[in-house]
Structure 1
Amino acid sequence: MEFTSEQRLDDDVVEREFTLGEIPGTLWMPGSASAAVPLVLMAHNNGLPKNEPRLVARARHTAARGYAVASIDAAGCGSRPRSAADDQARADLRKAMQAGEPVDEIFESFIGPLVDKAVPDWRTALDALLALPEIDGPVGYSGWTAVGIHLAVTEPRIAAAGFFAGGYVPLAQREEARQLTIPLLFLLQWDDQGNPRQRALDLFDAFGSKEKTLHANVGGHTGTPWFELEDGGRFYDRHLK
């Protein structure tokens, strides 16, 4: 892991950019930490970059609460190279969803492989991050549901997870959801046109965890209330500190 920049932000959070081979990432740390802190991995949905404003806001808020927070551009995501076929699949998926047409076939053929490629990069980043003296376990996850399910099932160091949306999740991850046993916080926007409500509720029901909590709020995909960050912080405090 090579750190390429560092800056102290106005909320006493230190932001450090890094590269790990071909993987670019960002690490946010509480500026006043005097000992090693727990880690939260934060992933955005469907290939958006690690510097997407909503993700950065969540990351800084969580770091200010006393956590190391890391995000990466996994394979096929953000600034990483992607094929013309991937770009066409994204366009086809958006077009079909906007038109109210069936999207399952496009979704499975595109998102399924994207999840499979992303998780090894997240595990590589996790290895490098936990080797830093200022970071210690346990580890939490926050963000993209499909990646989070696959990562949590294959990575025993993930102790708790917060998932967003969850209406469209590949069939493989819907099956894996039954294997999850860690504490979960599942956020659902009730009027999210891009994530069918019933599918999200069915997924929540499928999770094998004995401790799982569903928070549903009115509004569209990007309308998650800010107070959910506070509730999410308390969730991680219970399980990571």
Structure 2
Amino acid sequence: MRFTSEQRLDNGVLVREFTLGEIPGTLWTPASAEPAPLILMAHNGGLHRRESRLVGRARQAASRGYAVAAIDAPGHGDRPRSADDDAARAEFRRAMRAGEPADELFEAFVGPLVGKTVPEWRTTLDALLELPGIGGSVGYSGWTAVGVRLAATDPRVRAAVFFAGGYVPRAQHEEARRVTVPLLLLLQWDDEGNPRERALDLFDAFGSEEKTLHANVGGHAGTPWFEVDDGERFFARHLS
């Protein structure tokens, strides 16, 4: 892991950009010298790790004593992407807007992306846990499809908050039964891209004994900010 820049915010949080092989990322660490629990914060498909909502969540969590890391998924943010990826993404979005069947398009695009992204998160986690100032438990917050597989396959993840409901590849519905960590699923009731029935089915499939569903009215990007506060209280119960 090579750090390429750093900035100290007014509240003492240290923001560092890094590269790990081909993986670009950002690490936020609190001012405290005590080892901090780590939250892996994953953006949804199509976004960038510097997206304002993610950065706001990361800065707040770091100000409250957590180390937070975000990376760009393959073909996202600072990563190069192919013309085929762009075409697949555009066709999927067109079908969704038109109300056409989009399951096969979704599987063809998102399924392989999850398969590429999860190993990169595990590699990043290996490197992060070797850094001074990071210790204790690991939590996951963000993109549901990636989080389900990571929580099902990596025992270092001790708690998870999933955003954006339940529109995930079919494989993740089976993997959800192997997720046993405490989890919080955030559902936007009027999310145009994540039908609520799928989210409810996914929530039912999780194998966790402690699982909570928060539903709010509004579209995909309308998650209320108070849910960020609730997410931090959730992590405080399970990571501190």
Aligned equivalents of 1:201, 1:72: Cα separation in 2: 28
- Equivalences for residues 33-48 of structure 1 within 5 A: 33-48=32-47
SS at match of 2:78: coil
- Equivalences for residues 108-127 of structure 1 within 5 A: 108-127=107-126
Aligned equivalents of 2:55, 2:189: Cα separation in 1: 24
Residue 219 (1) aligns with residue 200 (2): no
How far did 1:13 drift? 1.6
User: What is aligned with 2:23?
Assistant: 23
Aligned equivalents of 1:227, 1:64: Cα separation in 2: 16
User: What is aligned with 1:77?
Assistant: 76
Give the total of aligned pairs.
Answer: 240
Aligned equivalents of 2:189, 2:12: Cα separation in 1: 35
User: What is aligned with 2:207?
Assistant: 208
Aligned equivalents of 1:99, 1:10: Cα separation in 2: 46
Deviation digits for residues 33-62 of structure 1, max 9, x if unmatched? Answer: 121100000001114111111110111111
How far did 1:83 drift? 1.4
User: What is aligned with 1:198?
Assistant: 197
Amino acid at match of 1:21: G
Aligned equivalents of 1:73, 1:79: Cα separation in 2: 7
How far did 1:24 drift? 0.5
Aligned equivalents of 1:180, 1:117: Cα separation in 2: 20
Runs (4+) off by over 3 Å? none
Aligned equivalents of 2:218, 2:12: Cα separation in 1: 32
Contact 1:146 1:166 in 2 (8 A): no
Aligned equivalents of 1:127, 1:119: Cα separation in 2: 13
Aligned equivalents of 1:77, 1:172: Cα separation in 2: 22
TM-score, with length taken from structure 1: 0.97
Residue 105 (1) aligns with residue 104 (2): yes
Contact 1:43 1:50 in 2 (8 A): yes
User: What is aligned with 2:171?
Assistant: 172
SS at match of 1:61: helix
User: What is aligned with 2:92?
Assistant: 93
User: Are residues 74 and 137 of structure 1, via their aligned partners in 2, closer, same or farther at CA, if it must alter by over 3 Å?
Assistant: farther
Aligned equivalents of 2:152, 2:13: Cα separation in 1: 31
How far did 1:92 drift? 0.5
SS at match of 1:179: coil
Amino acid at match of 1:61: Q
Residue 184 (1) aligns with residue 183 (2): yes
Contact 1:75 1:121 in 2 (8 A): no
SS at match of 1:124: helix
Amino acid at match of 2:141: S
SS at match of 1:199: helix
Aligned equivalents of 2:27, 2:7: Cα separation in 1: 11
User: What is aligned with 2:159?
Assistant: 160
Larger mean CA deviation between 141-150 and 82-91 belongs to 82-91
Deviation digits for residues 72-98 of structure 1, max 9, x if unmatched? Answer: 012222221221111001101111111
How far did 1:9 drift? 1.6
Deviation digits for residues 88-121 of structure 1, max 9, x if unmatched? Answer: 0110111111111111010000000000000010
SS at match of 2:237: helix
Aligned equivalents of 1:147, 1:166: Cα separation in 2: 13
Where does structure 1 lack aligned partners over 5 or more consecutive residues?
none
How far did 1:125 drift? 0.4
Larger mean CA deviation between 224-233 and 11-20 belongs to 11-20
TM-score, with length taken from structure 2: 0.98
User: What is aligned with 1:62?
Assistant: 61
Deviation digits for residues 162-218 of structure 1, max 9, x if unmatched? Answer: 001233100001110011100000000011111001110110010000000000011
